[in-house]
Structure 1
C-alpha cells in the first residue's frame, strides 16, 4: 500500500492560501489545522463535536478526548499552540454551543462522513497541485516532523494512538537532513 505523501512547509502555505478562497474558508483551514497539528485521521476529524473542542462557556480545551478512532480505543489528543489559534479563530464561525453538534458541519448541517472528509482533502490537494497527498498526509507529516525533532517512537505512538510502535515506524521517512544532523551528534 502506497503511503500518503508528506507535505512541505511551502505546500502548506499554498494550501492555506487556496483555502482562503473557499466558501467555508475558516472551517476548512481549521480542518487542515487539526490534521497537521493533532494528526487525526479523516474519520476522527469528521466525528468531532463542538463539545470535544470547546467547554460549555466556549473555552478551547487543552485536550480533546477522542472516542471515535480507527481501533475503537479512546485516546487523548493534546492541543498545541497552532491548533489552539485555529480553534480560537474558528469559534466565531460556529453557530451553536450545543456540545453534541458536529464541530465541522457539512453543507447539510450534519457530520461529514469519513469518506466525505477524505474527499475534501483530496479536492484541496488536487486544487493545489499536490500529487500523492491524501487525508493521511497531515497525520504522516506531523509524525515525521516530530521524529525529525528527536521525539521518541514511543511518544509518537502515543500521539498517533498506535498500540504498536512498528505501526508508527511505517510513518517515518528518513531524509538527508536527518542523517546529516545525526552524524554530527557523534
Structure 2
C-alpha cells in the first residue's frame, strides 16, 4: 500500500522525490484524520527554495487515505512515508527506491522523475496552459516546464486538423 501511495503521489500530485521524502503527517493529514486537499510545502521542502501549494485531487486523496489506514504512528512531525525500517526516506534513498521499483517490474528508462513528467504531460495533453502547469510543478520559468512535455506525431496530426 505504501509503494502505491508513493508512486501515485508522484504521478497524480507531480511532486519531486525530495518533496515526497520530506512530507510529514502534518503536511498531509488534517487534525480530524482526513487527507488535506492542499499540501503546503515550505521553502525548505522544495527544490527552488520557494514555498508552494500542491493541490491534491480527490483520486489522490482517496489513495492517501487508504495508505493512512496502514499507519499507526501519530504526530504531525513524523514522516508520512517511511522506509521498511520505519525511518524517513532520504531524497537519494527514495530515488534509488524508484529506480529499483522500475527495474523490478521491467520498465527500462523509468526514473524518479517519471511521475512528474507524466503529471505535466498528461495535463498539457488535456489542454491545461503552460503557465498553470509551471505553477503546479513549482517551476518559476515556463521554459523548464516545456521541457517536461512530451510531443508525439499523433498530437501533431491532431493539431494540424484544427485548422
Q: How does 1:22-33 map to 2 (within 5 A)?
A: 26-33=1-8
The one of 111, 120, 124 equivalent to 2:101 is 124
Q: Which residue of 1 aligns with 2:11?
A: 36
Aligned partners of 1:146 and 1:100: how far apart in 2?
32
SS, match of residue 148 in structure 2: coil
Q: How does 1:1-186 map to 2 (within 5 A)?
A: 26-67=1-42, 68-186=45-163
CA contact (8 A) 1:105 1:111 kept: yes
CA contact (8 A) 1:50 1:103 kept: yes
Number of equivalenced pairs: 161
Over residues 84-115 of structure 1, what are the superposed CA-to-partner deviations in whole Å (9 max), with x where a residue is unaligned? 11111111011123111000012332210000
Gaps of 5+ in 2: none
Flag as ranges the 4+ runs of structure 1 deviating above 6 A.
none
Aligned partners of 2:8 and 2:74: how far apart in 1?
21
Gaps of 5+ in 1: 1-25
Q: Which residue of 2 aligns with 1:5?
A: none
